[in-house]
Structure 1
Amino acid sequence: MRLLLGLARIVALGGMLALAGCVTAANNSLSQSDIAGMKLTGVAVSFAPDARIQWEDGLRAYADSKAVSLEQAATMADVPEVKAFVQGLLTPRIKAGVEQVLAARLAGTRPVRLDIRVKSLLFPSAIQRVVIGGHRGMIADANLVDARTGALIVAYPELNAALYTGQGIVGAAVQAAIDNNATQTPVDKVSVRYGEIYRNWLLKDGGA
């Protein structure tokens, strides 16, 4: 099992790099002095009205809260109450993951806030990955604004953060083993990856 997990992590890393390489970054016109003077005071997360969310754990949590089956909850996924419930669970996780990456790197004096507007957040189930495939990821607009005035400083529309996820019968089984041994949930991992890509773009580290 250790060998299987080790091989899976190598394959996953290669997949992550391939997926990240497909992203075309927005233009960042900020100077290094502009960036050095910024202090992150918070991350705000919202969802576009037509945001596409696929997250079985969120639907399961809703089903448990209402004492209904997961199948029943799935049929109501587009109902406003269900969408709000699921988004309410996702918001603090996305916020925490991005803040974890950015806070220490933006420690100047000018207060800024990162407004994230989620357009797509997909976590395909094991069954879906066996039958038709699919990777975990998030697409969201990232707008850095002045925390005092709300004025836009720089925008990165539709930043795409994707993580390779095991495909097929064997891949799904290996992915389940990795997930069971991980200290972070899939949502946490995608949120941190989003923060890393944004950080590298903003700071011009070139590591995304």
Structure 2
Amino acid sequence: MKLRICTTAMLAVAVLLAACSTLPKHTLTEADVAGLTLASVKVTFPSDAAVKWAEADALEKKEQETPRADLHRVERAGFRSYAEHRLAAALTTESHRLLPSLMQGTRPARLEITVRSLLIPTSSERTGQVMAATALTAVIAGPLAAGVAVSTTQGIFITCDVTLVDVPTGAVLAAVADVKASSAAAQFSGESVDSIAAAVIGKVKGWLAEKPSA
């Protein structure tokens, strides 16, 4: 039990550090970004994406104990399809809401978002993450860090790769991997999905607004 708590704590701290890290800089100038216009957003979920929806997993286990376990395979596919559709819609909406203030030009660009992982934890998992992160970060970095850990370990977690593509040529203008975010809301709902989508695109906006690397 102690080992499990320690492992959970270390994972929580890893999430905390990732949330506070700065994304690598791109090579576009401010004028380059300003000369673009967001023509479209493409959100994809690769077949090897780590999507975990605890409630769906629990229902799958329950259905496997019945003679009609095959029925739930279709139902579970529906769960994942719904989660992907709802998240893709939110990421698209937030992109068109937040990015046009940076991209005010005429050259069309496409934002491609590849969702690498999506974790929707159970209430017990969320409680364990919060308790472990609070205890460990309080020792390592003090009460303030512990408070930040709580705020970053309660909700849904997402990791994305983001690519900005020039539509006329198909050339990659800028790309960044492992954009991580978490929602403050605990359950998979309209509020939590919109929150996590806004967090992802907010990071993308900050990344594009950064001065290019030398």
Q: Greater shift after overlay, 130-139 or 185-194?
A: 130-139
For residues 39-78 of structure 1, the aligned pairs below 5 Å read: 39-55=37-53, 59=56, 71-72=62-63, 76=73
- Counterpart position of 1:119: 116
SS of the residue corresponding to residue 149 of structure 1 reads coil
Are 1:19 and 1:163, in contact at CA under 8 Å, matched by a contact in 2? no
Are 1:100 and 1:192, in contact at CA under 8 Å, matched by a contact in 2? no
Q: 1:72 to 1:94 in 2, by over 3 A?
A: farther
For residues 142-161 of structure 1, the aligned pairs below 5 Å read: 142-161=162-181
> Any idea what the Cα deviations from partners look like across 1:131-188, whole Å, max 9, x if unmatched?
45544321111000012332211101121123457xxxxxxxxx68xx99xxx61111
Is 2:198 the counterpart of 1:192?
Answer: yes
- Counterpart position of 1:95: 92
- Greater Cα radius of gyration, structure 1 or 2: 2
Are 1:137 and 1:161, in contact at CA under 8 Å, matched by a contact in 2? yes
- Counterpart position of 1:30: 28
Are 1:98 and 1:195, in contact at CA under 8 Å, matched by a contact in 2? yes
- Counterpart position of 1:65: none
Query: Aligned pair count?
Result: 166
Distance 1:36 1:185 in 2: 31
- Partner amino acid, structure 2, of 1:117: T
Distance 2:35 2:204 in 1: 17
Q: Given the two structures, how large is their TM-score scaled by the length of structure 1?
A: 0.65
Q: CA deviation at 1:107?
A: 1.6
User: Structure 1 regions of 5+ residues with no counterpart?
Assistant: 1-15, 61-67, 166-174
Distance 1:47 1:101 in 2: 22
Q: Given the two structures, how large is their TM-score scaled by the length of structure 2?
A: 0.63
Distance 1:52 1:108 in 2: 36
- Counterpart position of 2:107: 110
CA RMSD after TM alignment = 3.6
- Partner amino acid, structure 2, of 1:88: H
| Percent identity for Structure 1 against Structure 2 | 25
Q: Which has the higher contact order (CA 8 A, sep 6+)?
A: 2
Q: CA deviation at 1:43?
A: 1.1
Q: CA deviation at 1:104?
A: 3.2
Distance 2:106 2:196 in 1: 29
Are 2:111 and 2:163, in contact at CA under 8 Å, matched by a contact in 1? yes
- Partner amino acid, structure 2, of 1:140: C
Distance 1:145 1:84 in 2: 26
Distance 2:157 2:28 in 1: 27
Are 1:139 and 1:160, in contact at CA under 8 Å, matched by a contact in 2? yes
Match of 2:159 among 115, 120, 139: 139
SS of the residue corresponding to residue 104 of structure 2 reads coil
Are 2:184 and 2:192, in contact at CA under 8 Å, matched by a contact in 1? no
Distance 2:73 2:54 in 1: 12
- Partner amino acid, structure 1, of 2:157: G
User: Structure 2 regions of 5+ residues with no counterpart?
Assistant: 1-14, 65-71, 131-152
Distance 2:33 2:158 in 1: 25
SS of the residue corresponding to residue 49 of structure 2 reads strand
- Counterpart position of 1:203: 209
Distance 1:86 1:19 in 2: 24
- Partner amino acid, structure 2, of 1:161: A
- Counterpart position of 1:5: none
Distance 2:200 2:74 in 1: 25
